[in-house]
Copies of this chain bind each other. A is one copy, B any other.
């Protein structure tokens, strides 16, 4: 039962678009990721995904509704099955709350796919 410093955890992350497992709580996971530029369009069939911006700016694009732009301290829940594309402008540190097993690229084919979140050092 150790505390986690978000600043220190983000400082330890080097790769972009690579979720790192920070905490597990009731079968869900807090994951941390550094992001830069545009990710891939995708959706997660079985899982809602909460985005919370720790630093920077993240725009989340949707196919059938207006984009949502999140600044530091702003959050959005993307409901399961909703196609979306996160775009960091130009970079953002983000916290995700979703099932541990959720794959970052969802149903998309992309070389940034990561089957399992990394552990923080």
**Tally of contact residues, A, Cβ under 8 A:** 34
Chain-B contact segment, one of A13-21, A35-43, A73-81, A111-119? A73-81
Q: Could you tell me if B98 and A26 are in contact, using CB atoms closer than 8 angstroms?
A: yes
Q: Could you tell me if B65 and A1 are in contact, using CB atoms closer than 8 angstroms?
A: yes
Of all chain B residues, the one with the shortest Cβ separation from A54 is: B73
A97: chain B residues within 8 A (beta carbon): 25-26, 28, 30, 97
The reply to whether the CB of A47 lies closer than 8 angstroms to some CB of chain B is yes
Nearest Cβ distance between residue A23 and chain B, in whole angstroms?
5
A-to-B contact residues, CB < 8 Å: 1-7, 22-26, 28, 30, 47-50, 52, 54, 65, 68, 70, 73-79, 82, 97-99
